[in-house]
Amino acid sequence: MAARSRGVEPARGRVTGEKRGCEYGAVCFSHWDTKCRRCCYVVENLPHVLRSCKPHARAWQLHHNTVQDHLVRVIPAAAGEISVNCTIPGCESQMRPNIVIMNEEAKKVVIMDVTIPFENRHQAFTNAQARKQEKYTLLADTLRGHGYNVMVDMLIVGTLGAWDPSNESVLHACCVSHCYTKLTRCLMVSNTICWSHNIYMEHITGHCQYSDPTR
């Protein structure tokens, strides 16, 4: 690649810039400037653009909601009563898990969050899972004290389209059929890649690449 060209190498998820040998994923405007063009953070790289650059916060939220809504749609009614971003009745905790499936008959509760980390290392998935387990420990213990069998789970899709293998068991816990599990994986991954592309293009061009239902 020419020394002053700028482009994307999808196979490595790396954005190249005018400066040769720049940090992994860095987008460089000039030989000296590596600052983010939108928020002036010290390094403008893919993890920053896709997960940390605040001007894209609305896009992250819409992307997250899209994945979450898709998951809610594929959970069958037989799994139990589904609540989204709500506190759990009977618990003092004001925490609002993304999705709660409560099956009173089976005395079973599934507490679930959706997360979309930047997956430059597998550790990103492990860390995300650990954080959520810890976050809901007290809430889960309270529900267990009320006689429920409680599962705390996490659906994880990487911003570059990686699918956490443990998502299969998460969908199984939500009573999603094997057929829908495969379809859900394909749709969520392609949707996530599309959102990341839109965020990246908005970052580069300054033009919004998605429609916001609140505007």
- What's the min distance (Å) between Cβ of 59 and Zn ion? 13
- What's the min distance (Å) between Cβ of 50 and Zn ion? 10
CB atoms within 10 A of CB 23: 13
By CB atoms closer than 10 A (0-12, 13-18, 19+), residue 123 is exposed
CB of 114 closer than 8 Å to CB of 84: no
Q: What span, in angstroms and rounded, lies between the C-alpha atoms of 200 and 45?
A: 10
- What's the min distance (Å) between Cβ of 160 and Zn ion? 18
- What's the min distance (Å) between Cβ of 61 and Zn ion? 16
CB atoms within 10 A of CB 163: 19
Residue with smaller CB distance to Zn ion, 30 or 126 = 30
- What's the min distance (Å) between Cβ of 41 and Zn ion? 5
Residue with smaller CB distance to Zn ion, 140 or 204 = 204
Site of tokens 């609540």 = 83
Residue with smaller CB distance to Zn ion, 36 or 75 = 36
Cα angle value 68/72/74 (rounded, 5°):
120
Cα angle value 184/185/190 (rounded, 5°):
100
Residue with smaller CB distance to Zn ion, 47 or 158 = 47
Residue with smaller CB distance to Zn ion, 29 or 41 = 41
Binding residues vs Zn ion (CB under 5 A): 36, 38-39, 41, 53
